[in-house]
Amino acid sequence: MIIWRLAVAVLFSIISSYAFSITDQPCTRPASGSIVEEPATLRSRNGVLEAELTYRNQKIASDEEQYCYQSQSGDQSPTLRVKPGDLLILHLRNRLSPEQKQANRSMPKMTISSPCADASMTALSTNLHFHGMTVTPECHKDDVLHTFVQPIDKPYEYRFRVPSDESAGLYWYHPHVHGFTNRQVLGGASGALIVEGIERANKQLAGLPERTLVIRDQELLNPDATAASAAFAPPVLRDSEGDVLNTGTGGGKPAKDLSINFVPVPYPDYTPAKIQVRPSERALWRVLNASAITYIDIQILVDNQPLPLGVVSLDSSPINENGLTPNRVLWVNHVFLPPSSRVEFIFKGVSENTNARLITRSVDTGPAGENDPARPLAAIVPAAGAPVTASHLVKSPEPLPPSREVWLGNIQPSKTRKLYFSEKLESPSRADSPTIFMITVDGQTPAPFDPHETSPSITARQGDVEDWVIENRSREMHAFHIHQIRFMLTQWNGAPVDEPFLRDTINVPYWDGKSPNYPSVTIRLDFRNPNAVGTFVYHCHLLEHEDGGMMGTIQVLPQSSNATK
């Protein structure tokens, strides 16, 4: 008996030591210059995707943390792949801790709680937002206003059926805890979600191999470094939140570093990641800008000449006017992506012995905005021995049936509203004072978002279509995003626009500080989907701004109700 107990004790010690070792550094990242690996994939089987994600963190600096979602096999931020109509069941286990090593040695006890009614929004709280999906804003589905999972909670179950008419394409998941979203997403808390079947909307994609690239930003690894070229000398000015101010020159020190599938491309040398491809192989590239605050403008250069990109979808929306113009491909030289936006395009392929690079062009975000200079992201390396892509689109897809819905651009709106972005210093007499960020419905008093406010900023009705004019009254760009629904851009600074696709995020240009008219976009919002019923949020998707108060709520009432404001 003594020997048996001793053996059990030794075995328990070994298991405990092993468990500690594999979680001591739960969010390990590749080194700069590494090969870009495809994220691990969790696929639905027989109409169901059920998985467990453990949310972890680790300290990397005195005030910085890395965050990650781990699958049961230990893979970070797996790509979730589902089909329209599938049942998605995710068990989210919160293992955040202020002291990672202590948390690994002594796991918190499980207690009964009610995350759906939890008012605790702390640095250790979490939830999941399924960005871009038309899933109802309810408990266990896509609610971010009341659902907060704590480390003491048992695994929280997300369970919903992907709408049967959900657009095939690239979506993503990330935490959405007001006040703490920026820090967590900046630390890497994000993953791709793919609704399969995009080849059914465009037969030119049939059989193509797929590649998923998630671009994230992070704090500068070398904040005190100086750029090698004098032409790219770092600016010295910083805003009140500590980010490098935009120079408008296309160069200088960026506000944040970028990574591609977690491979960092740090300032000042920008050692590029490596994307291995087979020579001249066409493929569908899916690119997600999962940055917390950084705009990107992606471009592929081959021997310093732009390679045309065959765009087939933006923000998970095929560019075909809801099927009215099938198999459409828009060939462009670059694609501008605000934070949270996605693009899917045909990569034409490159031959051997060519110098091919994936870069981001510079983005002038305004004199008060973050500095986003031109910089490389990855070297595209064609080689006959490159690994075969793991995922391929269906070779002989069944075409999508004609849509029964009237194209949004052919519907007259029932109401027009005006909203505007604005900023102010908390203490106007102090230039280093924190900035208060606001998005205001015209006619209401500007104020930052109050999570304890019970009345929605806007009330609408399911079945309606509305136009919103969104102005920017600040000196930096903002990215408007709304949950649960999609919209169509109809005007840019008052000039008509005819886009053959929908969006869930749109950039709003910055104000120059002197023009009598503020920059604006006009968007047509689609509340026809019954899944839009409920209360959800709209906000700037520069998450530093959202956390700082640039968010509002909208309540969509059932179609039978007439009470709107």
Q: Check whether residue 215 and residue 175 sit in a common domain.
A: no
**Residue 39: pLDDT above 90?**
yes
> Which tens digit of pLDDT belongs to each residue from 138-157?
999 999 999 999 998 999 99
Q: How far apart, in Å, are the Cα atoms of 558 and each of 132, 533, 562?
A: 21, 6, 9
* Last residue in a domain, options 382, 416, 438: 382
Six-digit token pair at 236? 């010295």
* Percentage with pLDDT > 70 across the chain: 90
Q: Check whether residue 249 and residue 354 sit in a common domain.
A: yes
Give the span between the Cα atoms of 323 and 201, in whole angstroms: 7
Q: Check whether residue 134 and residue 269 sit in a common domain.
A: no
Six-digit token pair at 74? 């230990």
Q: Is 232 inside a domain boundary?
A: no
Q: Check whether residue 377 and residue 412 sit in a common domain.
A: no
* Last residue in a domain, options 382, 398, 421: 382
Where is average pLDDT lowest: 196-200, 383-387, 412-416, 540-544? 383-387
Q: Is 317 inside a domain boundary?
A: yes
**Residue 102: pLDDT above 80?**
no
pLDDT (0 to 100) of residue 25: 72
pLDDT (0 to 100) of residue 432: 81
Q: Check whether residue 43 and residue 183 sit in a common domain.
A: yes
Q: Check whether residue 145 and residue 216 sit in a common domain.
A: no
Q: Is 421 inside a domain boundary?
A: yes
Strand 305-306 with 296-302, pairing: antiparallel
CB within 8 Å of 129: residues ≥ 6 apart: 142, 144, 173, 174, 175, 176, 483
**Residue 391: pLDDT above 80?**
yes
- β-partners of residue 467 are 416, 524
Per 3-state DSSP, the chain is made up of helix, strand and coil in percentages (nearest 5) of: 10, 35, 50
Six-digit token pair at 212? 């998923």
Q: Is 496 inside a domain boundary?
A: yes
- Burial level of 202, CB count in 10 A (0-12/13-18/19+)? buried
The strands making up 191-195's β-sheet, listed across from edge to edge, are 41-43, 79-82, 191-195, 169-174, 129-131
pLDDT (0 to 100) of residue 233: 55
- β-partners of residue 285 are 211, 345
**Domain extent at residue 417:** 408-557
Beta strands in 31-110 (DSSP E): 41-43, 48-61, 64-70, 79-82, 87-94
pLDDT (0 to 100) of residue 234: 53
Q: Is 7 inside a domain boundary?
A: no
pLDDT band at 298 (very low <50, low <70, confident <90, very high): very high
Residue-by-residue DSSP string for 287-344: EEE--SS--EEEEEEETTEEPPEEEEEETTEESSTTTTSTT--EEES-EEE-TT-EEE
Q: Check whether residue 285 and residue 251 sit in a common domain.
A: yes
Q: Check whether residue 186 and residue 93 sit in a common domain.
A: yes
**Residue 22: pLDDT above 90?**
no
Q: Is 390 inside a domain boundary?
A: no
**Residue 286: pLDDT above 70?**
yes
Q: Is 52 inside a domain boundary?
A: yes
Where is average pLDDT lowest: 103-117, 301-315, 409-423? 103-117
Q: Check whether residue 358 and residue 432 sit in a common domain.
A: no
Q: Check whether residue 443 and residue 359 sit in a common domain.
A: no
- Provide the 10 A C-beta neighbour count for residue 161: 16
pTM for this predicted structure? 0.92
The strands making up 487-492's β-sheet, listed across from edge to edge, are 435-441, 415-425, 465-472, 520-526, 487-492, 495-496
Q: Number of folded domains in the chain?
A: 3
**Residue 65: pLDDT above 50?**
yes
Q: Check whether residue 211 and residue 170 sit in a common domain.
A: no
CB within 8 Å of 565: residues ≥ 6 apart: 458, 459
CB within 8 Å of 366: residues ≥ 6 apart: 246, 474, 475, 476, 477, 510, 511
CATH code of 460's domain: 2.60.40.420
pLDDT (0 to 100) of residue 457: 97
For all residues of the chain together, what is the average pLDDT? 90
Give the span between the Cα atoms of 507 and 505, in whole angstroms: 7
Q: Check whether residue 43 and residue 176 sit in a common domain.
A: yes
> Which tens digit of pLDDT belongs to each residue from 490-506?
999 999 999 999 999 99
